[in-house]
């Protein structure tokens, strides 16, 4: 299918089939649902709310036999599968149902109904929280009252005899219903973020996460860690309060939110650019969600270019996330965020003395002027900080060149590409070593450089290795458990470095 590479089938129902797929332009894993042609398609608009307890919708559109929807890939089980694995304690069921209730209540306040509230459309993520999927994909025109009645039936199924008697009135709002059930179950009053999903057999179903979410004393994603020793902070302090999650247009992110780059150009009382050469070792965001990368931006006259960026990182929720970096900077370089389609960044709108520069699409090595600057409706504090170390130099662990590269173990070559660099032919190869995955640069049969691929586990497999733009090899590696590593390389006559 155009734009997506199908990996494996995840499930099949009476109307649709769902695949794990890769969104090729981003190397992003998605759940791709293929729906048959709907005779009402021309008269219906897919309304999918943006909420922390709703599976994110990245893209939708026509395909040969109907409509596709590309969604966040949740590697945990559905509530239906959890219940098949064994009975859940009522208190644990309520934890999940409370998440579904918060999503439904928010959707109804915004004028959106779901249409198929069921255990099969509720997913438990790797942290044990529930996410509701498939808004508006059922046949017919859904209503909020139908959602409330379906949610009440789901609560009855999950709680059984523990279900409290309900007043004989119109269907209750999901949040109200959960509160009534919690009052009838004293054992359910445990802290909401402390999830234990009924035994090790069920917990083993959940995929492990490689995220870097830092949790506060109550388990809330609220703690802002101190910077690493010797590092200076560029950008926001990431203080809490008055935070919104928006795309580069300042709107709630959706499947229509395009890729972009945003850089803070003024923030009262905060340093934004390095005063001298150095390296960025870590970065952190708050209020963000989706696939993001940190980017070093350099001015050339009245235009700007991207010098380097980190690999894309998937940020699962709006908490504080601290992420690794190894980017060299010069004095005066800007530090920006590159957002994949559908991603969100955290902002604070008021009282910050802030301005930003924005570029729609991806800012690359092609010089571009600022497209949306101060006064264009996005003069917010961007909740991102970079930890910068003066005088440091980026040097990935294990990088080899010269004689040390020539003497390095050969390893198992599993993919290669040939390209022309300044009128000279060079070959780059992906190799599996005893303890790592690396990329080698060759002139003929002589190895000139070796660069390990950070985050790539030896037990994974090569997904794609190609040359982008005629000069930049791009590697995509699938780790066990389904997490992808994506890295782009800049090739010199004798050098090899990561571009992100």
Cα distances (angstroms) measured from residue 335 to each of 87, 255, 262, 278, 331: 50, 26, 9, 13, 11
State mean pLDDT over 59-68: 84
For residues 25 and 405, the model is more confident at 405
Partners of 498 in the β-ladder: 489
pLDDT band at 208 (very low <50, low <70, confident <90, very high): very low
Average pLDDT rounded to a whole number, residues 4-17: 83
Task: Outline where DSSP puts E strands in 210-302.
Answer: 232-235, 244-246, 260-266, 278-286, 290-300
Domain 4-42+56-72 identical in fold to domain 79-203: no
Of 76-85, 155-164, 385-394, the range with the lowest mean pLDDT is: 155-164
So where are the chain's domains? 4-42+56-72, 79-203, 232-390, 400-498
Q: Is the pLDDT of residue 440 over 50?
A: yes
Tens-digit pLDDT profile for residues 102-126:
999 999 998 899 999 999 999 988 7
Confidence of residue 166 (pLDDT cuts 50, 70, 90): low
Which of 15-29, 146-160, 304-318, 478-492 is most confident?
146-160
Tell me the pLDDT of the chain averaged across its residues: 82
User: pTM of this prediction?
Assistant: 0.50
| CATH fold for domain 4-42+56-72 | Phosphorylase Kinase; domain 1 (3.30.200)
When pLDDT is cut at 50, 70 and 90, the band that residue 331 belongs to is: very high
Query: What DSSP element (H or E) covers 181?
Result: helix 174-184
Query: Would you state the structure tokens that stand for residue 410, as one six-digit string?
Result: 């050969």
* CB-based contacts of 48, cutoff 8 Å, min separation 6: 54, 57, 112, 135, 136, 254, 255
Q: How many CB atoms lie within 10 A of CB 397?
A: 8
Tell me: pLDDT of 132 over 80: yes
Does pLDDT of 17 surpass 60?
Answer: yes
Q: Which of 209, 339, 356 is nearest to 287 (CA)?
A: 339
pLDDT of residue 66: 83
Alpha helices in 69-111 (DSSP H): 79-85, 90-109
303-313: per-residue pLDDT in tens? Answer: 999 988 887 88
With tokens 């498939």, the residue in question is 134
pLDDT band, residue 168 (cuts 50/70/90)? low
Assigned CATH for 79-203: 1.10.510.10
Q: Per mean pLDDT, which range of 319-333, 378-392, 481-495 is the poorest? A: 481-495
Order of all β-strands in the sheet with 381-382: 244-246, 345-348, 381-382
């Amino acid at each position: 299918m155009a734009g997506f590479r199908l990996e494996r089938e995840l499930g099949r129902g009476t109307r649709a089939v769902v695949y794990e797929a890769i969104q090729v332009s981003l190397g992003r894993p998605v759940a791709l649902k293929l729906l048959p042609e709907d005779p009402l398609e021309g008269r219906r608009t897919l309304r999918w709310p943006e909420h922390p307890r709703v599976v994110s919708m990245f893209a939708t559109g026509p395909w040969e036999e109907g409509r596709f929807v590309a969604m966040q890939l949740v590697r945990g089980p559905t509530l239906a599968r959890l219940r098949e694995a064994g009975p859940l304690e009522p208190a644990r069921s309520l934890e999940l149902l409370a998440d579904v209730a918060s999503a439904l209540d928010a959707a109804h306040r915004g004028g959106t109904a779901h249409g198929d509230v069921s255990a099969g459309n509720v997913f438990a993520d790797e942290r044990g929280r529930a996410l509701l999927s498939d808004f508006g994909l059922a046949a017919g025109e859904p209503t909020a009252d139908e959602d409330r009645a379906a949610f009440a039936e789901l609560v009855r199924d999950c709680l059984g005899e523990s279900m409290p008697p309900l007043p004989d009135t119109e269907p209750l709002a999901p949040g109200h219903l959960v509160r009534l059930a919690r009052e009838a179950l004293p054992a359910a009053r445990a802290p909401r973020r402390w999830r234990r999903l009924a035994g090790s057999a069920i917990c083993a179903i959940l995929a492990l996460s490689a995220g870097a979410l830092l949790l506060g004393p109550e388990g809330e994603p609220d703690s802002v860690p101190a910077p690493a020793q010797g590092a200076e902070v560029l950008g926001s302090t990431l203080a809490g309060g008055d935070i919104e999650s928006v795309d580069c247009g300042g709107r709630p992110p959706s499947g229509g939110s395009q890729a972009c780059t945003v850089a803070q150009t003024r923030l009262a009382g905060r340093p934004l650019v390095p005063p001298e050469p150095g390296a960025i070792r870590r970065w952190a965001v708050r209020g963000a969600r989706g696939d993001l990368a940190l980017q070093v931006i350099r001015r050339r006259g009245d235009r700007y270019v991207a010098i380097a960026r980190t690999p894309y990182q998937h940020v699962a929720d709006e908490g504080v996330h601290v992420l690794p970096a190894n980017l060299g900077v010069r004095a005066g370089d800007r530090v920006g965020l590159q957002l994949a389609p559908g991603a969100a960044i955290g902002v604070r709108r008021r009282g910050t003395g802030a301005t930003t520069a924005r570029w729609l699409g991806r800012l690359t090595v092609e010089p571009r002027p600022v497209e949306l600057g101060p006064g264009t409706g996005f003069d917010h504090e961007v909740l991102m900080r970079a930890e910068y170390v003066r005088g440091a130099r980026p040097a990935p662990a294990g990088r080899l060149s010269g004689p040390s590269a020539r003497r390095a173990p050969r390893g198992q070559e599993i993919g290669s590409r040939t390209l022309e660099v300044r009128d000279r032919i060079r070959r780059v190869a992906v190799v599996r070593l005893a303890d790592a995955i690396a990329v080698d640069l060759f002139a003929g049969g002589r190895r000139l450089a070796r660069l390990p691929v950070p985050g790539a586990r030896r037990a994974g497999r090569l997904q794609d290795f190609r040359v982008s733009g005629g000069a930049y090899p791009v590697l995509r590696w699938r780790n066990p458990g389904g997490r992808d590593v994506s890295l782009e390389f800049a090739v010199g006559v004798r050098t090899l470095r990561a571009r992100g």
